[in-house]
Structure 1
Amino acid sequence: MDLLVALDDSEPGWAALEYALEEHPEADITVTHVVDLSESGYGEFAHLGSDTMAERRRERAEELFEEARERATGREPPAEIETELLEGPPATEIIELAAERGVDRICVGSHGRTGVSRILLGSVAERIARRAPVPVTIVR
């Protein structure tokens, strides 16, 4: 089984990775993180510039990947994961990667957001679940 785990630096994101490692110990797991420069905090572009901001987000993604590798190799038996850094709209990039790689399942963390349609799911998790070409496991 090939699994794609969408990882952001949130409790549900880490829970999705832990779920994949625990429930599918024999799977080939690819952990992906998406850098989306269109979602910038107030004034980030003005203070840092887009190149600096992009580089900081890529560096943070590498830190997330390193922690994911540590969590995977710290298991018994140790697991190996592949990592993939993407740039663009998160849901779109994750869905496209899943299709390109022919994965069997996507694991993603849920997020409680405001608004009636997002009481249980974050907007990224919701878009992935609605549009993915494969089954999606959403972990809280």
Structure 2
Amino acid sequence: MSRHLLVAMDDSEPARTALNYALSAFPESKVTVVHVVDDLEAGYGGGPTAEAARDQDEPAFFADVRRLAEGHAGDVALEVLEGTPVDAILEYVRSNDVDGVVVGSEGRSGVSRMLLGSVAEGVARRVEVPVTIV
């Protein structure tokens, strides 16, 4: 039975580690790598707008994703979503028959986690499929 996994991706080492894990642990699976353009962050000048993301073909780090995915027996798809990361990931999972989510985490704890929040934690608490946090 083939699985469909979603790997949440940004331009960080924990995200690359999560992708490497998904590709090696599930070599026959379909993997969809999603990058979310955060509308809220863009609105406050912290990142590109969704419009700018649509105008460029794809994030520059997707070249790294393609390189990491070479040799993977299953399909690897790349998607750019817009919205807040947790909500966009949840919506994608609900709408696309995803069997599991793999996401990287920087391993924050205590006060820094409470103040800064965590996409990995938000997805793990709210999504209805298994989540692997790497």
CA deviations 1:88-135 (Å, max 9, x no partner) are 00001001101111111000011244753728x951111000000100
Is there any run of 5+ residues in structure 1 with no aligned partner, and where? none
Match of 2:30 in 1: 28
Match of 2:59 in 1: 62
Cα offset, 1:80, TM superposition: 3.7
Cα offset, 1:56, TM superposition: 4.8
Q: Percent identity?
A: 49
CA RMSD of aligned residues (A): 2.9
Match of 2:12 in 1: 10
Which secondary structure state, in structure 2, belongs to the residue aligned with residue 31 of structure 1?
A: strand
Match of 2:118 among 111, 123, 131: 123
User: How far apart, CA to CA, are the structure 2 residues paired with 1:115 and 1:41?
Assistant: 28
Cα offset, 1:63, TM superposition: 1.8
Contact map agreement 1:33 1:61 (CA 8 A) in 2: no
Contact map agreement 1:69 1:80 (CA 8 A) in 2: no
Relative distance call for 1:64 and 1:37 in structure 2 (3 A) is same
Cα offset, 1:38, TM superposition: 1.2
Contact map agreement 1:4 1:32 (CA 8 A) in 2: yes
Task: Compare CA radii of gyration and give the structure with the larger one.
Answer: 1
Alignment of 1:1-140 (within 5 A): 1-40=3-42, 44=45, 53-57=49-53, 59=56, 61-73=58-70, 75=71, 80-113=75-108, 115-116=110-111, 118=113, 123-139=118-134
Task: Give the aligned residue type for 2:41.
Answer: E
User: How far apart, CA to CA, are the structure 2 residues paired with 1:114 and 1:38?
Assistant: 24
Relative distance call for 1:117 and 1:15 in structure 2 (3 A) is same
Q: Please give the TM-score of this superposition, normalised by the length of structure 2.
A: 0.81
